[in-house]
Amino acid sequence: MLRSRALAAAFLSHLVGASAFSVMSGLTAIEKVREKSRETPPGTRVATPQNLAAVDGLEPANLWRSFAAIASIPRPSKKEERVLEFLKSFAKERGLATKEDAVGNLVILAPGRNGGENAKPVVLQGHVDMVCEKNSDTVFDFDADPIRLMMASEWLTADGTTLGADNGIGCATIL
């Protein structure tokens, strides 16, 4: 059992093609599993307008929209309920099964497809809570406020707080 609340997505298939789950080569977010995501890109209903604007134009777009959504959900340690609900909703919208234990570890299961039905499972894991630090002159409530993403030159950053990329970007990559 994991000690902290975590997202563990077990994809029960081979990831079709060598770059099917590669950020560097243009993450397609496992298109074979997420056909419905073309209708409603991940995070567009959850992410704040500011966060969606901050990632607009970044590629791969689905990865950054997913990260914008995760950054928009307050998720300090021991208070991950809202982000877990987002992940369960994400899975339900795509017809994926979920399992959750008593301490909040969540597993999203995607069945094998396109010849991968009998393949060994592939597990992708990340934690959903974040480091909650802010600048001394920043007014921010990590229990209630969404991280405010912004671009600074060519860098995605946050307005007066930690970015929440540990491990928000890992979870967004999994999605």
pLDDT tens digits, one per residue of 40-79: 555 557 899 999 999 999 999 999 999 999 999 999 999 9
pLDDT category at 156 given cuts 50, 70, 90 is: very high
Q: What is the pLDDT of residue 41?
A: 54
d(CA 98, CA 89): 10
Q: What is the pTM of this model?
A: 0.75
d(CA 64, CA 121): 26
d(CA 87, CA 98): 9
- Higher-scoring residue by pLDDT: 112, 3: 112
Among the ranges given (8-17, 70-79, 160-169), the one the predictor scored with the smallest mean pLDDT: 8-17
d(CA 37, CA 40): 5
Q: Is the pLDDT of residue 30 over 70?
A: no
d(CA 41, CA 175): 11
Q: What is the pLDDT of residue 165?
A: 84
Q: What does the pLDDT average to over 25-34?
A: 34
